[in-house]
Amino acid sequence: MKTIIRISSLLALVSVLFFACQKEVSFERGNTRVSVGSLAVDGSGNCLGAVVSGTYYKDTTLKASNYVDITVTVDTAGTYSITTDNVNGYSFSATGTFSATGTQTVRLAGSGKPLNTGTNIFTVTYNGTTCEFSVTVTAATGGSAVFTVSCTSPVINGVYQVGTALTASNTVTLNVNVTTIGTWSVSTAPAVNGIVFTGSGTFTATGAQTITLTGNGTPSTAGSFNFPVTVGGSTCNFSVTVTAVPDYFPRTTYSNWSYEYDGDPDDSLLVKVIPGTHTVSGNPYNIFLYTDDAAFGFDTLGYYRRFGPNYFEWGDISYGILDDPYRIEYTFLKDDQTLGTTWQSPQFSGPYTDPTTGMTTNITLRWDLSILQQNVTVTVGSTSYANTIKVKQELRQLVGTNWLLVAYFERYYARDKGLIKEDLFQNTGAPIYVQDVRRLVIY
């Protein structure tokens, strides 16, 4: 098993046991932070890109098909509550959690019952910002349409992924044949796998045409699911496939990996995930243990979590370089970024004792990370791993005003497999060790 390596001088090399003992991370949803952001607004104060769905009739209670999609710019991920004022007897609102920053689409569900016809102006409020959109209410005219529906050759749109809430892009278009014009309303309720498709409108002509149902909810399980559509006395079904969220660093209990160093089967490391979690600042982390000799038991390798596409490690970020542990959280992997994306850990400082001279000085370090390869096939030993992300993680030391390279890792994370390869290099590029997975079991 490798032990911690230190290099004296300002370019002091360092680290290693770690998950050569590398680190990985876990992500659990349920973050309780409150989001920070703003509504997208045009120059007239209107909600930029707002899409109003459904039909609005006087004295008719709103349905699941009555909603408005608005655009929000998220600066800090976390929980949100977005509401409108109550106008003419009805309103719109949404609550949830933003798992990532950037531009997001939020669906505001309608509730209540319009009391009068006319155009109503609603004011949306979120995080101290406001914008407006309008809804037109008409008098209910005509009766219910008479039609048949076919689930043959449905057009399914949008991405369906476990744990990801559906948006306005999640629709299904079905063929219908109308014999009597009028209003229509279709729903696949009750929910199947956390999803319901609904739609409503008015047919103004008879004959063959289509209807579009919009999905709501959050899928809970991967697989193929049938959704029933009942019109009159007949029912047909269409199927939607939900995929699992890609995970480049699995943290499921009892998953385990064994590695060997520099091709030596007698120089090996076993890593496993144990039951339970370790909570820091309200965030639960999965616990990884390691051993290089099971006869002597296991020790803690690190604590890992995942939030959306970001993977975090909490622990001694210096990996034993500093004389005293410096424990914080940092992001070691981002699975949604393109080739060349870069990011940094927070900088950290502490005492460092040169093992050669015995002199102790205070040094400042940081980790610089970048995506070297995105979703490529990598062969380790005799096994090829598709959809692998290669990350370069450089340790840099602040000397004067310059951040000098000390050493660096090149780590390979395979989708749904985890860390399959880790190589450590001196700042010159000379290799220190090669760590290759030789067996893995994911639960």
Between 57 and 221, residue with greater pLDDT: 221
* pLDDT for position 252: 95
pLDDT digits (tens, 9 = 90+) for 140-170: 655 688 999 999 999 999 999 988 899 999 9
pLDDT band at 18; cut points 50, 70, 90 = very low
60-74: average pLDDT: 91
pLDDT reading at 406 higher than 70 = yes
* pLDDT for position 28: 37
* pLDDT for position 9: 31
Q: Which amino acid is at 351?
A: P
Cβ(418)–Cβ(442) under 8 Å? yes
Percent of the chain with pLDDT over 90: 79
pLDDT digits (tens, 9 = 90+) for 187-229: 998 999 999 999 999 898 889 999 999 999 999 899 999 999 9
Between 274 and 182, residue with greater pLDDT: 274
* C-alpha to C-alpha distances, 22 to 61, 208, 277, 304, 372, nearest whole angstrom: 57, 61, 19, 11, 18
* pLDDT for position 145: 87
Angle 241-306-326 (CA atoms, 0-180°, nearest 5)?
A: 170
Question: Could you tell me the pTM of the whole model?
Answer: 0.57
Domains of the chain: 36-137 (2.60.40), 146-242 (2.60.40), 256-441 (2.40.360)
Q: How does the average pLDDT of the chain come out, rounded?
A: 90
pLDDT digits (tens, 9 = 90+) for 309-329: 999 999 999 988 999 999 999
* pLDDT for position 11: 33
pLDDT digits (tens, 9 = 90+) for 258-316: 999 999 989 999 999 999 999 999 999 999 999 999 889 999 999 999 998 999 999 99
| HSE of 283, CA atoms in CB hemisphere, 13 A | 22
Alpha carbon distance 83, 89 (integer Å)? 15
Cβ(410)–Cβ(426) under 8 Å? no
- DSSP assignment of 199-222: EEEEE-S-EEEEEEEEEEE---S-
